[in-house]
Amino acid sequence: NAGVTQTPKFQVLKTGQSMTLQCAQDMNHNSMYWYRQDPGMGLRLIYYSASEGTTDKGEVPNGYNVSRLNKREFSLRLESAAPSQTSVYFCATLQGSYNSPLHFGNGTRLTVT
């Protein structure tokens, strides 16, 4: 039982390049989230998906797009990477809709040069 799996674990991009961060879950949870973690800033919500076929913006959505491919998978795309997007990205899932903890993957460390 892998829980929440993120790929890749590490990535280095040049400014202007694009990439997609992948997230897959095997817990049959309805809601999925993308957060970024930066020093001194905690975790900030980028986008989330309450259920298959729906996506909504979080606190810091600029420069990102998401796709909820099916119930299991939720991807985050950077179309034109910028150094300000250097961060650690975490995918998370939620079983219900409220009063439940999020379950996190182990993160993708992204560096944009």
Residue of 34, 74, 76, 107 that binds another protein (CB under 8 A): 107
Tokens 């674990």, located at residue:
9
Tell me how far CA of residue 71 lies from CA of 36, 65, 79, 113, in angstroms. 22, 17, 23, 34
Which H helix or E strand runs over 12?
A: strand 10-13
Question: Does 53 engage in binding with another protein (CB under 8 A)?
Answer: no
Which stretch, 18-26, 45-53, 60-68, 69-77, contacts another protein (CB under 8 A)?
45-53
By the 8 A CB rule, do 13 and 19 touch?
yes
- Residue 85 or residue 93: which is nearer to another protein going by CB? 93
Span from 18-26, 28-36, 63-71, 79-87 in contact with another protein (CB under 8 A)? 28-36
Two tokens at 75? 């991807």
Nearer to another protein, 19 or 43 (CB): 43
In angstroms, rounded to a whole number, what is the distance separating the alpha carbons of residues 48 and 111? Answer: 23
List interacting residues with another protein (CB under 8 A). Answer: 4, 30-31, 33, 35, 40-45, 48, 50-51, 54, 56, 58-59, 90, 92, 94, 97-107
